[in-house]
A and B are shown apart, each in its own frame.
Chain A
Amino acid sequence: MNPVLQVIDLQVSYYTDTGRAIALNGVTLALSAGEKLGLVGESGSGKSTMALAMMRMIKPPGRIEGGQVIVGDTDLTKLSNDDMLKARLSKIAYIPQGAMNSLNPVMRIGDQMADAIRAHDPKADKFAVEDRCVGALESVDLKPSVYKMYAHELSGGMKQRVCIAIGILLKPQVIIADEPTSALDVVTQRQVMETIDRVQKQIGAAVILIGHDMGLMAQFVDKVAVMYAGRLAEMSTVRQMFTTPAHPYAQALISSLPSLDNKGVFQGIPGLAPSLLRLPSGCAFHPRCPHAMDVCTTKRPELETLDDGRRVACHLYPEKA
Chain B
Amino acid sequence: MPDLLELKNVTKTYSRGVLSRTSTTALNDVSLKLAENEPTIMTVAGESGSGKTTLAMLLLGFITPTSGQILYQGQDISRLSGAARVSFRREVQAVFQDPFAVFNPFYTVDHLLTVPIKKFKLAKNKAEARDRMEEALTAVGLRPEDILGRFPHQLSGGQRQRINVARALVLKPKLLVADEPVSMVDASLRANILETLRSLQRNHGVSIIYITHDLTTAYHIAKSIIVLYRGSVMEAGDVDAVIKNPQHPYTRLLIDSIPWPDLSRRWGETEIKARESEGASHGEGCKFAPRCPFAMEQCVTPPPLFQLNKHQATSCYLHATSPQIASEQLSELLPV
Contact = CB atoms under 8 A, between A and B. Distances in A.
Interface stretch (A163-171, A209-217, A312-320): A209-217
Given A158-B276, A219-B266, A238-B263, A186 B217 contact: no
A189 interface: yes
Q: Which 5 A-B pairs have the closest CB atoms?
A: A215-B259, A268-B191, A266-B191, A185-B213, A185-B47
A242 B261 contact: yes
A117 B226 CA distance: 47
Nearest to B185: A43
Given A215-B259, A266-B220, A190 B267 contact: yes
Contacts of A219: 259-260, 266-267
B194 interface: yes
A157 B275 CA distance: 10
A222 to B, nearest CB: 12
A216 to B, nearest CB: 4
A188 B260 contact: no
Contact of B186 (A42, A217, A242): A42
Given A215-B261, A272-B156, 6 more contacts: A185-B213, A186-B258, A187-B272, A188-B276, A264-B220, A268-B190
Interface in B183-208: 184, 186-192, 194-195, 198
A239 interface: yes
A258 interface: yes
Residue from A42, A213, A216, A258 with most neighbouring chain B CB atoms (10 Å): A258
B258 A215 contact: yes
Contact of B192 (A182, A189, A268): A268
A80 interface: no
Contacts of A269: 188
Interface of A: 42-44, 141, 154-158, 182, 184-191, 193-194, 212-220, 238-239, 242-243, 252-254, 256-260, 263-269, 272-273
Contacts of B157: 43
26 contacts: A154-B277, A155-B276, A155-B277, A158-B276, A184-B48, A186-B215, A186-B258, A189-B259, A191-B272, A212-B186, A215-B260, A218-B260, A218-B262, A219-B266, A242-B263, A254-B261, A256-B188, A256-B191, A258-B219, A258-B220, A259-B260, A260-B243, A264-B221, A266-B191, A268-B188, A268-B189
Contacts of B257: 186-187, 189-190
B186 A186 contact: no
Given A186-B215, A253-B188, A258-B216, A43 B156 contact: yes
A190 B189 CA distance: 24
A190 B266 CA distance: 12
Which range holds the interface residue count of chain B? 35 or more
B213 A243 contact: no
A186 B156 contact: no
Given A43-B156, A186-B214, A259 B47 contact: no
B268 to A, nearest CB: 8
B259 to A, nearest CB: 4
B48 A156 contact: yes
Given A190-B257, A242-B263, A243-B263, A266 B195 contact: yes
Contacts of A156: 48
Interface in B251-275: 253-254, 257-263, 266-267, 272, 275
Interface string B267-295: 10000100111000000000000000000
B21 interface: no
B121 interface: no
B162 to A, nearest CB: 12
Contacts of B16: none
B263 A239 contact: yes
A8 to B, nearest CB: 29
Interface string B42-75: 0000011100000000000000000000000000
B212 to A, nearest CB: 9
Given A242-B261, A257-B261, A260-B219, A186 B47 contact: yes
A141 to B, nearest CB: 8
B124 interface: no
Contacts of A141: 275
A81 B258 CA distance: 42
B244 interface: yes
Nearest to B157: A43
B261 A212 contact: no
Nearest to B268: A190
A154 B277 CA distance: 8
Contacts of A185: 47-48, 213
Contacts of B194: 266
B188 to A, nearest CB: 5
Interface in B116-173: 156-157
Nearest to B217: A258
B261 A218 contact: yes
A264 B202 CA distance: 13
B266 to A, nearest CB: 7
Given A158-B277, A256-B191, A264-B220, A186 B263 contact: no
A141 B188 CA distance: 34
A52 B217 CA distance: 31
